[in-house]
Amino acid sequence: MPNLKLIESNRLEVLSQALATSLSTPLSSPLTPELIVVQSRGMQRWLSMELARMHGICSNIKWPFPNTFVLDMFSRILPGITQPPLFDKDSLTLRIMDCLPDLLTHRHFARIKDYLENDEQGMKLYQFSSMMAGIYDQYVIFRPELILGWEDGKSKAAYPENWQAILWRKVIERSDPHHRARLKQLFAQEIIHADISMLPERVSIFGISYLPAFHLEVLKGLSACIDVGIYCLNPCREYWADIIPERRMARITEKDMHWESCNDLLAGMGRLGRNFLDMVLELDPEQVDLFEETEGITMLSQVQADILNLRPPGEEGVREVTDGDRSIQVHSCHSPMRETEVLLDTLLDLFEKDPDLEPRDILVMAPDIEAYAPFIRAVFDMDRDDARRIPYSISDRSFRRSSRLADALMAVLDLAGRRYEASLVMDLLDKEPVRTRFDLDEEAVSEIHAWVTGAGIRWGRDGNDKVELGLPGFAENTWQFGLRRLLLGYAMAEGEGLFAGIAPFEGMDPGSAELLGRFTDFVEKLFAAVDELRQERGPAQWSEVLLRIIDDLFTVDEDGVQEMLHLKAVVRDLEKTCQDAGFRGRLSCDVVRQHLAKAFGHAAEGSGFLERGVTFCSMLPMRSIPLKVICLMGMNHEAFPRRDYTSGLDLTAMDQRRGDRSRRDDDLYLFLEALLSARNVLSISYIGQGIQDNAPIPPSVVVSSLLEYLDRSFVNPGVARSHCLQAFSPKYFTAGTGLFSYSQDNALAARALRRQGQSGARSAELADPGEEFRTVDLERLLEFFRGPACFFLRHRLGATLPWEDETLLDREPFELAGLERYGLHQRILTERLAGKSMDADLARLRAEGVLPHGVPGELALAGLAREIDAFYPLIERAMEGRDMVRKDLALPVDGFTVTGSVNSLDGAGFLSFRYAKVTGNDLMRAWLSLLLLQAADPAAQATALHIHREGLTRINAVEEPLTVLKEFLDVYRQGLCKPVHLFPKSSHAYAEAMKKYGKDKRATQEARRTWEGSRYQRGEAGDAALLLCFAGTDPLDDEFRELALAVYGPILDAMGAGT
């Protein structure tokens, strides 16, 4: 006799064996497929492999998800009646968008009308419609009687949902009303006298931890006609529907005294499974218990046995932990990157200890695998010959995150609502599908980046673009302005001046014509595409426009063909969705962008799951299939369990019932399932220490509960480990710390740290430089003394540092300040020396886009000119009618050859000028130039003059210039081997204070003030190179003092000041 059977076990392997036994009884026809309902593709893949292992083959099986299965049963019992596509959430969203505006005059919609005001682009309407579509979709499953009552006119004016009922009736008006709630109603009426031949012979529901009452009622109806088997993972063999966590026992009232406190883990995390089992048992199924006692003496095995037998912690006494028991591990880290690095070492340790362990036996889950995907690739991607390489796959990535094409298309759509900012356009150009389309490599994009910066392109297509935004129509700093400069820069020779008021871009390589042409083609096609995106149009026209944009801007290689096909299919689906919804309106680009973002954001569930090697995936229901090792990452306090966000319009929140979905309960049960599914090892990691201050951060409440349970059950379980901020900490290579690493590179770094007690690049001293460093140009020597640490990183280690001027600016200049003001001062001063007027300066600077637009730019330039006019006489007096002579020098000094060109004042010495405060770098240039002039002509009584904003500084000649040069070159030699403790600003401040006060303590205070800075001035310690070399240490030590006096002391001794 057909019936409903509930098969329970605490082990999924046992359930799979029971299913295999059931399938051994053949169906009436070998061509009839078996029907096994699962909740995920991952479960399908695991179960199919298990069945193939037991039967030798697994084929002719259909694997529907619960919703698909229910609709299939409806169609079998109700032939010719199916759910129309209108009730898919995307179609329902557009249908609500179409219907809602007609209802806004109704008195029940007054508040909604107020909300939707000033919605020119339709985004409020779309977002509200999308929310309501989701709510209605939930009603159909969890409150079908509410939906059916609305359709039958049973809502009352006083009910808070009255406007929802009106909107729903409007939505289904003139459409097929056979949604799932109506179909279930008809199903219940027809199943009683159904034609059994239309139904499958048997149905198996496997490994599903939760089903709504809607689905269970369908299964109950089917069980009257066919065999229905529910294979359910039950963590406990005892009756546990009336247990609660011990911490809640103190709060229960007398009427709730039936509740019991037993196993805290099961009581605190098992609510979802408890409710589901209760709902299934209310269907009065035939029960088959297949529980197996958990064997083993590890902590993990004993915790699973406690849950199976409903034992509270410590019931059998506090148990001893076996030596070397690492079956449960909890790792506290500083960042996701460190979590991933610790995971790699943990897995390598497990492989070393268990030769039978294979990568396919390991599952790694995170609440959001997207957030960890970049770190996983950074850590686990290795050369094939690397002994630490572990094969892996990442599942559940969304098309938006995993597709370069989707990312590029969304970037184009984003530009439709923006101002053509230079940074956004260049970011788009740097995306691989765009680079491929216009035949650009990374070097070409880098060159174009320099063009855009140099040509002064900031934002806006042209002056008219600004006028449309209600701004003055200045063409400066627009794309049209910059492209004209670039094209003239190619067409005209340097130094030819303005052409039709346009300043040609200087420095354009004559061989860059083809690259400039491809860049211009890209800009024209992009602007044409954005013009089309800014117009509202119907769904069919949107599909045409988007497909044309894809063809114009993107190209992929053979590996990306499937990705391109999927992208175009999603775009075409927009038109079909609108047709299904009966949508008759026009859509703005904002709405289309939001729609595509949702479509691209769906995870390709199951892709990559158990495909090869270690599987990384998101934490989804029934993902915790039984494997030897299960690892959980990202178990952070704020991230897990995830919170329930319920709309205030959702009526189910006002009347909660058993069986309603709760994301928090889902996550709690997911963790419990992971704990039960790990056969050998459960490894958990979380961000438990602040990356800035190392302050402790609590883990997820589920981790805290597990740790508390272990402390109450075992003697010194010792499962928690706190990890270091850096993977190269010596603690990982020191016995007795409990920390370890398999990285040879980190071992070398840790060895150097241990040897010198320092960190980073400063820990190692390189060998003496080769011959290429023996010939030193003056400019290169000055570069060294401007920043010894930066020089060492760049020229000896080949490191590239992030410079602030690499960032494209997205706004035109509004004022002249900082480096911009300084640069214009020097430029105007150069123009004055060449005899040019202010009018010529204004025309040229405006044509280059470096001045604020309009009158503010004229006033700013006039102010700069006045300052230079007051400064210029100082230079004239210093020169006293003498000419500047350029001297090319080459001097052998202590194994080095120092070369360079020095500006000599008619044989009398060195002269430099700069409209700014005098700095240590100014003094260094004057000093080294003077030493070279003296060494080249010892008989000359040369001096060095530096004219600055505050007057004139004179540096007198020294008696033995070659000796002093030798000392400076010795510092240079040290700086080529290691980062020396010489810092231009702080060292100069120290030497100056020592000369002024003669007290080391006072001088050190001045140096530290310069090094650390204040709230008003950035300290020298914030320099990127210095952070890399000296972070975490105090470099203002004896070496610092000695070098400061050795380098800046002689300069200060030789100085005299005057005006």
31 and 92 in a single domain? The answer is no
Q: Report the pLDDT value the prediction gives residue 806, as an integer from 0 to 100.
A: 59
Based on the domain organization, do 440 and 582 belong to the same domain? no
Tell whether 306 is covered by a domain. Answer: no
Judge if 134 and 269 occupy the same domain.
Answer: no
User: Lowest-pLDDT range, 420-424, 613-617, 976-980, 1028-1032?
Assistant: 1028-1032
Residues in the chain: 1059
Q: Is residue 1045 part of a domain?
A: yes
The answer to whether 507 and 491 have CB atoms below 8 angstroms apart is: no
| Domain co-membership, 1028 together with 1003 | yes
Residues in a beta bridge with 363 = 615, 630
Same domain, 914 and 1041: yes
Question: Amino acid identity of 967?
Answer: E
Tell me which of 142, 177, 212 is where a domain ends: 177
* Type of residue at 426: M
Q: Is 513 helix (H, G, I), strand (E, B) or coil?
A: helix
pLDDT confidence band for 100 (50 / 70 / 90): very high
Residue 822 has pLDDT above 80, yes or no: yes
Q: Which amino acid is at 779?
A: E
Residue 157 in this model has a pLDDT that exceeds 80: no
* Higher per-residue pLDDT: 611 or 996: 996
Specify the pLDDT at position 608.
59
- pLDDT computed for residue 159 by the predictor: 55
**Same-domain status, 906 and 947:** yes
Spell out the residues 6+ positions from residue 359 whose beta carbon is closer than 8 angstroms to its own. 390, 391, 392, 612, 613, 614
- What pTM was computed for the model? 0.83
Mean pLDDT of 33-53: 91
169 and 57 both lie in a single domain: no
The model's pLDDT over 841-893, given as tens digits with 9 standing for 90+, comes to 778 888 888 888 888 888 888 888 888 888 888 888 877 767 777 888 888 88
Using omega within 30 degrees of 0 as the cis cutoff, is the peptide bond preceding 641 cis?
A: yes
Q: Which of 500, 515, 533 is the last residue of a domain?
A: 533
Separation of alpha carbons 603 and 510, rounded Å: 48
For residues 998 and 890, membership in a common domain is answered with yes
Q: In what side-by-side order are the strands of the sheet with 392-394?
A: 392-394, 614-618, 362-366, 627-632, 678-687, 328-333, 720-722
pLDDT tens profile 527-583: 999 999 999 999 889 999 999 999 999 998 888 899 899 999 999 999 999 988 888
Measured CA to CA in angstroms, residue 736 lies from 15, 720, 740, 741, 749 at distances of 44, 15, 10, 13, 20
Confidence of residue 413 (pLDDT cuts 50, 70, 90): very high
One domain, residues 440 and 520: yes
Q: Are 883 and 915 in contact (CB under 8 A)?
A: no
3-state class (DSSP) for residue 803:
coil
Binned at pLDDT 50, 70 and 90, residue 260 comes out as low
Whole domain around residue 128: which residue ranges? 85-177
Burial 984-1018 (b: 16+ CB within 10 A, else e): bbbbbbbbbbbeeeeeeeebbebbbebbeeeeeee
**106 occurs within a structural domain:** yes
In this structure, what token pair is assigned to residue 224? 């009257």
- Contact present, 357 and 629 (Cβ < 8 Å): yes
Total count of domains within the chain: 5
pLDDT at 823: 83
Structure-token pair, residue 425: 């356009």
Rounded to whole angstroms, how far apart are CA atoms 836 and 879?
Answer: 19
One domain, residues 245 and 149: no
The pLDDT of residue 288: 94
Residue 746 located in a structural domain: no
What amino acid occupies position 293?
E
User: So what's the pLDDT on residue 1059?
Assistant: 36
Tell which of 157, 177, 197 closes a domain: 177
Residues 496 and 409 in one domain: no
CA distance 956 to 944: 7
Answer yes or no: is 258 within a domain: no
Q: Who wins on pLDDT, 759 or 466?
A: 466
What's the pLDDT score for residue 245? 60
What does the alpha-carbon distance between residue 600 and residue 607 come to, in Å, rounded to a whole number?
15
The answer for residues whose C-beta is within 8 angstroms of residue 940's C-beta and 6 or more apart is 907, 909, 933, 934
Rg (the chain; Cα; Å): 37
Domain CATH code at residue 59: 3.40.50.10930
Q: Is 971 contained in some domain?
A: yes
Do β-strands 943-948 and 678-687 pair in parallel, antiparallel, or remain unpaired? Answer: unpaired
Q: Which residue has the higher pLDDT, 191 or 501?
A: 191
Percent of the chain whose pLDDT exceeds 70: 94
Lookup result for tokens 């010529």: 840
Contacts of 32 (CB under 8 A, 6+ apart): 200, 201
Pairing verdict, β 884-893 and 896-905: antiparallel
| Residue-level pLDDT at 633 | 96
Average pLDDT over residues 351-359: 94
Going by C-alpha positions, the residue among 195, 196, 291 that lies closest to residue 239 is 291
Judgement on whether residues 528 and 545 belong to the same structural domain of the protein: no
Average pLDDT of the residues in 1022-1050: 88
Cα-flanking dihedrals φ and ψ of residue 890, to 5°? -150, 110
d(CA 520, CA 486): 10
pLDDT reported for residue 596: 92
Whole-angstrom distance, CA of residue 456 vs CA of residue 823:
15
Output 177 or 742, whichever has higher pLDDT.
742
Tell me, yes or no, whether 936 lies in a domain: yes
Q: Does residue 558 sit within a domain?
A: yes
Digit-coded pLDDT (tens) for 579-608: 888 888 899 999 999 999 999 887 655 555
Contact 429, 435 (CB under 8 A): yes
Could you tell me if 663 and 368 are in contact, meaning their C-beta atoms sit under 8 angstroms apart? Answer: no
